[in-house]
């Protein structure tokens, strides 16, 4: 009788545990109905504005020159502290692009007189070349 009682208690308690466990397991996966609104699926798709206007390719060198300190010493058509860009264009050809770009970065004197050009060390070779290409296009 005693044993049976204990047995019943065990069965009862274990079934309670099981029930509580299974009960827990059952409650979690119950899907909570979320009202899906039409708006949430249709995110407003704004058309991004064009990043750069298309006509920059030809003027990139000029824009770089305008963005740097070059025009403090150079004018397109007249000598300032440095030679005019038109004179530079007359003196050099496309074969000199690399050397001229290097000169802009390193600075220097001697080709036009004793006044030195200040170095532009922050300038990339690529940008310096674009500046030179623009200058040489002024012939």
Annotated binding site for heme c: 70, 74, 117
Q: Is 103 in the site for ligand HEC (CB under 6 A)?
A: yes
Shortest Å, Cβ 44 to ligand HEC: 44
Residues 113, 125, 126, 137: which binds ligand HEC (CB under 6 A)? 113
Largest CA distance in the chain: 121
Closest separation in Å from C-beta 54 to ligand HEC = 24
CB of 71 to ligand HEC, least distance (A): 8
Check residue 135 for interaction with ligand HEC (CB under 6 A): yes
Of 70, 76, 103, nearest to 88 by C-alpha is 76
88 binds ligand HEC (CB under 6 A): yes
CB 126, min distance to ligand HEC, A: 13
Distance CA 60, CA 131 (A): 8
Give dist(CA 54, CA 127) in Å, integer: 18
For the window 37-76, what string marks contact with ligand HEC as x by the rule CB under 6 A? Answer: ----------------------------x--xxx-xxx--
Contact residues for ligand HEC (CB under 6 A)?
A: 65, 68-70, 72-74, 81-83, 88, 100, 103-104, 108-113, 115-118, 120, 131-132, 135
């Amino acid at each position: 009788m005693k044993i049976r009682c204990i047995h019943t208690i065990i069965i009862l308690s274990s079934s309670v545990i099981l029930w509580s466990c299974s009960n827990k397991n059952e409650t979690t996966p119950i899907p909570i109905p979320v009202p899906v609104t039409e708006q949430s699926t249709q995110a407003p798709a704004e058309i991004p504005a064009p990043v750069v206007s298309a006509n920059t390719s030809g003027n990139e060198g000029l824009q770089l020159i305008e963005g740097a300190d070059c025009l403090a010493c150079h004018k397109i058509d007249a000598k300032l502290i440095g030679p005019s860009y038109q004179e530079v264009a007359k003196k050099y050809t496309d074969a000199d692009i690399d050397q001229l770009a290097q000169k802009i970065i390193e600075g220097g004197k001697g080709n036009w007189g004793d006044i030195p050009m200040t170095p532009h060390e922050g300038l990339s070779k690529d940008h310096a070349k674009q500046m030179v290409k623009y200058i040489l296009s002024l012939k």
